[in-house]
Structure formats: structure tokens, C-alpha cells
Amino acid sequence: MTVLAVVIALAVVVSSVLLIRGVRRLRGRAGGAPAQVHDVLEGAFLAGGPGRVVDAVIAGMQADGRLTIGGPGIVALGPGDARGDVELAVVQEHAAAPSGALHTLRRAVMRGAAVQRVGDTLAARGLLVQPAAAKPYARWGLIQGVASFVAVPFSVVTVGVLSMDSEPGGGFPPALVSLPPLMIVSTVVGLVCASRARRRLTAAGQAALKDFVLRDLSSTDPARVVATRGPRALPDEELRRHLGTAARARPEDHLLPAAVVVGTAATWCAGSAPGASCGASTDRSSHGGHHSHGGGVRRLGRRLRPWRRLGQRGRLQLLRVELWRFRFELRWGRRRGVRGRRLLSEGS
């Protein structure tokens, strides 16, 4: 029994030491020249992941009139070109989505190649931990913590039984006495290391995010406000409500474009089902042609493809969304037409 206790104690100590070293090496140490956040999208990714990036882009596009959200969360694109890969992804996914629902568009873009590349770039600079690299340590810590927790009462009972059976005045093996406290320590080490391994920010990433947040506290740019403090900090109550509802919406993969549902997994979307890097599919046109909304009737049949898979309640909801979108596009198109005619008359 003494030999077995010594073997168990050594195994627990070695496992704990290796786990602690692995997690510390994974997350890195602060020191040296602090890394810098290059733009708002990188700051948003560090602060809130892929979803925060999409929220910041949507807030920025709405602020300058290139995107509008109306009705029950229906997105319509206005005039203006996309600035950057993520905005281009918003335009492309909006054109390919079965409906203009904000939550569907948000999920497709956050799983898209443009947003995923932001995370890959930050990981390459040592600001984020790759999920694939952190997963073994998180699993290791969880297994050690749970196993040690389960072993605590057994070790206490074993020590109690052996102490009762031992002769009075006889020596008691110290290895057996140390098992219960050692298991308690092993439980704490395992669970703490598992929790730390799940955190995506490295020490350098935390320093870079802090510097980004403190760099311009007085900024009122909606994209930066969302990137640093989240959608709840937006002064626009309607936009804040739309973004919050979209973030809480349940994923509906049958309403996503095929390029999002089929392909390789999205690395930085936690909990996402297997999906593509979700970039633009080959049948999508360039972003310049996605600003014309007069073809809403022609695209209605394509958007209603999931109709047969939905129940009665789902069909009513989808029809309601499409009607709202169609009305919104008609209204937006009329405004753009009036504005264009006015500009032509002024030019002549």
C-alpha cells in the first residue's frame, strides 16, 4: 500500500508540474516591447472575439449610411463601397443570405474567412492562443481536477481505515497521510489550469488590449465604442437592441449560405458547428453590384428555399421577415431614386 501511495503521489506531482509549465508557456509572459493593436478590428477581436468584430463593422457602416437596420432586424445596404475585407464580407453575405435577417448575416460573417484571418494574424503575433493548441491543456487540467476531486474522499477513507487497523504506537507511512491534501491541491491546480488554458488572450494580448482601450477613451466613433466596450455602450438604443437580439439568437444553419455550412471548421468561432472558412462563394458578384435592391422580388424564391424544412411557426416567421425586408428595400430604393433625380436636375 505504501508503494502504491508513493507512485500515486509522484504521478500527481509530475502531472501538476508539467501542466503548470505547459499552460505558462502557452500563455506567455509579459515583458519586453508591448505589442500594438493595428486597427479597430484587431482591438474588437481581442476584446470580444469574432462577434465583436462584426458588431463593430455593422455599427461603423450604419454610422456613415452604408447600412441600415429596420423592421424586426432586417439589413439593407446603402450606397458606398466596402472598406476592407470584413465589410466586403458583409456585402457578399448579405447578397447570398436567404433573408436579410441581422442574426443570420452576423453569424455568417463572423465565421467567414475575413474575420477568421484577424484571429490568425493576432495569434501569429503572440496576442492570442490558437484554440487547437489550448485544447489539450484544457482537457488535461479538467481530467486531473475531476479525478483528484473524486479521489479525495477515497484517500481520506483509506487513511482512516489503515490508521484504525494499525498497531498502537506503530509508525504510519507519511506517503499515505499526504494523499488527501495532495489530492486537494491537485484538484485546484487542474481546474485553475484548465480555466487559464481556455482563455484566448496571452499576457502580451492583455497588455495590447489595455493599451488600445486607454488610447482614446473620449472617442465617439460607433465602431470603436463597440470594439472597446461592446454594443451595450452604444448611444443608439435601436442599434443596441438589434445587435443584442442578433447576438442572443439561436444558430439556424439551414438559413445560412451553403458556403458557410459546408467546408472546414471556423477556427475562432467557439462552439460553432463544422462550417467553412465561410468566405465568398464562387457564384457571388463583386461588391459594387450589391447595392441595387430593385431585384428583391426575383431573389424572394431563392430566400424561401428552406420553406419545406420549417414548421408552421417557422414559415410564418420567415414570411414576416421577407415581407418586412421587401417593404424596406422598396422604401430605400425610392429614396435613392428621388435623391438621384434631384442630383441630376441640379447638375443640369
CA 327/CA 267 separation, integer angstroms: 37
- Cell numbers of 218, please? 473620449
Q: Which residues make Cβ contacts (< 8 Å) with residue 124, sequence separation at least 6?
A: none
* Predicted structure pTM score: 0.66
pLDDT of residue 20: 94
Rounded alpha-carbon distances, angstroms, from residue 180 to 72, 151, 176, 184, 186: 58, 8, 8, 6, 10
Is residue 213 within 8 A of residue 40, CB to CB? The reply is no
pLDDT of residue 12: 92
DSSP label at 68? E
Helix, strand, coil percentages in the chain from 3-state DSSP, rounded to 5: 70, 5, 30
Going by C-alpha positions, the residue among 21, 250, 3 that lies closest to residue 141 is 21
pLDDT of residue 263: 39
Residue with cell string 493599451: 211
Going by C-alpha positions, the residue among 256, 247, 224, 258 that lies closest to residue 73 is 247
67-70 and 74-77 as β-strands: parallel, antiparallel, unpaired?
Answer: antiparallel
CA 208/CA 276 separation, integer angstroms: 30
CA 183/CA 179 separation, integer angstroms: 6
pLDDT of residue 15: 94
Torsion of CA 247, 250, 252, 255, to 10 degrees: -50
pLDDT of residue 255: 46
Give the pLDDT confidence of 41-58 residue by residue, as tens digits.
999 999 888 999 999 999
pLDDT of residue 256: 47
Q: Which residues make Cβ contacts (< 8 Å) with residue 144, sequence separation at least 6?
A: 15, 16, 19, 186, 189, 190, 193
pLDDT of residue 254: 43
pLDDT of residue 257: 47
pLDDT of residue 267: 65
pLDDT of residue 138: 92
- Low-confidence residues of the chain, pLDDT below 50? 253-265, 270-298, 300, 336, 338, 340-341, 343-344, 347-348
